[in-house]
Amino acid sequence: MPSQRAKQLSVLTMNTLAFTACFAVWVMFSIIGIPIKETLVLNETQFGLLVATPILTGSLLRLPLGMMTDRFGGRPVLFGLLLAVIPPLWLIGGATEFWQFLVLGLFVGAAGASFSVGIAYTARWFEKKTQGFAMGIFGAGNAGAALTKFVAPSIVAAWGWTAVPKTYAGVMIVVAVVFWMFTHSDPDHRVEAHITIRDQLRALKDPHVWKYCQYYSLVFGGFVGLSLWMTKYYVSEYGHDLTHAALMAAIFVLPSGVIRALGGWLSDRFGAHTVTWWVMWASLGSLFFMSYPNTELAIATVDGGTVRLGLHLPEWGFTVFLFVVGIAWGFGKASVFKYLSDEYPKNIGVISGIVGLAGGMGGFLLPILFGVLLDVTGVNSTAFMLLFGITLVSLIWMHFSGEREKDRLMRHQDLVDVLE
């Protein structure tokens, strides 16, 4: 019989592995969508819809699966989810029509709901003082997006894009088997039998939950949206081929995923509000410069001539700011869920489902909006203008929410608990 500590580590490790695999599948269209776009001759809006479709179901299912996790436990729910995405994932390799990709993408998108299952499953195995760090480690499974950036282009180059979903289907079978073998269940982690669905959904009336939804729609929704969009952005803006564009995009995706564990530790140490506040400011400053489009100015001189000036953000400068945004959002994804574990320890499954749904919907809507803005204006940087506006709204909301004092009192109480 393994010890409690061994069970904690095993659950955390397997949860993170499963979430990494699911996230890699969830953003798969960010790579294979580019050759599909060329084959089907899609416009920018259609491409945005193609890459965002899996994000829709992955978002909508987060709430019901979070509720199921509270009710039945994380192990059976996550195992069933892993098995459910394998058949449609395999079938994508044989699709030929746009509508087929959209329908199968909806089914494969269920993989994204693994977050609300795994985060609640993880949190319940750890004490409050270490929950932020544990959830941050689990959340580092976001690096599955970077895994796709590294692996999928090589598969496309060697065997074509159809080999990617079939390879991923095989990997998911292995992950599902290993997950079931090395995870554990604890009946005490489930809600009491008399708790109804209406009781669980009562959290939707809490205005604080909607505030955290706003934060997460930026730090996670923005992360997903840019993960899906940046490979194509580097192709169109800087002329890279698919492989090199994916590697450049990974500069944003990989650090944002793996840094989440540090964000959880910082949130345990300094409080969720302090970390989130600086995340928003770092994002705002970086997105301001990334929003500036390539501009040419024609200035009339006194002698009737013209002086032309070109203003643009060079690729290296853009990439630096993109890296900063990725790090900031990695911290923010952890700090938002530190808010939730502090304030909603008894029903974190349903709360994480609600907030995760909001974040996922941000990831679904943003690529579509990016495509629409690009089709309408023809300006590539409009994606970052939109994200700048969302960040500004979040900062204003934070400023007037009174969270700073609540965060200070909570950290004081944690210190008292340690001393006692």
Q: What CATH number does the domain containing 390 carry? A: 1.20.1250.20
Domain around 300: 4-419
CA 226 to chain centre: 9
Q: What is the pLDDT of residue 202?
A: 74
C-beta separation of 221 from 360 below 8 A:
yes
Residue 376 burial class via C-beta count within 10 angstroms: exposed 0-12, middle 13-18, buried 19 and up: exposed
Choose from 4-13, 141-150, 169-178 the range with maximum mean pLDDT: 169-178
CA–CA separation, 375 vs 367, rounded Å?
A: 12
Q: Give the three-state DSSP class for 210.
A: helix
CA dihedral 396, 293, 231, 89 (to 10 degrees): 60
Q: What is the pLDDT of residue 180?
A: 95
Name residue 172's amino acid.
M
The pLDDT tens digits for 367-399 are 889 989 999 998 888 999 999 999 998 888 887
In 271-347, which ranges are continuous DSSP H helix?
272-290, 315-343
Count of domains forming the chain: 1
pLDDT at 409 over 60: no
Q: What is the pLDDT of residue 239?
A: 86
pLDDT at 72 over 60: yes
Q: What is the pLDDT of residue 338?
A: 83
Scored b (16 or more CB within 10 A) or e, 243-276 reads: bebbbbbbbbbbbbbbbbbbbbbbbbeebbbbbb
Q: How far apart are the first and last CA of the chain?
A: 32
Mean of the per-residue pLDDT values of the chain? 85
Q: What confidence category does residue 7 fall into, taking pLDDT thresholds of 50, 70 and 90?
A: confident
Report the pLDDT averaged over residues 328-353.
82
CA dihedral 320, 325, 331, 337 (to 10 degrees): -160
CB atoms within 10 A of CB 127: 8
Q: What is the pLDDT of residue 269?
A: 85
CA–CA separation, 392 vs 387, rounded Å?
A: 9
C-beta separation of 355 from 336 below 8 A:
yes
| Closest to 256 measured CA to CA, from 133, 146, 118 | 146
Structure tokens given for 171: 């990997």
C-beta separation of 121 from 11 below 8 A:
yes
CA–CA separation, 215 vs 359, rounded Å?
A: 8
Q: What confidence category does residue 419 fall into, taking pLDDT thresholds of 50, 70 and 90?
A: very low
Q: What confidence category does residue 119 fall into, taking pLDDT thresholds of 50, 70 and 90?
A: confident
pLDDT at 416 over 60: no
Half-sphere exposure of 274 (CA within 13 A, CB side): 15
The pTM assigned to this predicted structure is 0.75
Q: Cα–Cα distances in Å, from 346 out to 210, 337, 349, 405?
A: 18, 14, 8, 23
Rounded percentage of the chain residues whose pLDDT exceeds 70: 92
Name residue 252's amino acid.
F
Q: What is the pLDDT of residue 412?
A: 46
Q: What confidence category does residue 408 fall into, taking pLDDT thresholds of 50, 70 and 90?
A: low
Q: What is the pLDDT of residue 415?
A: 41
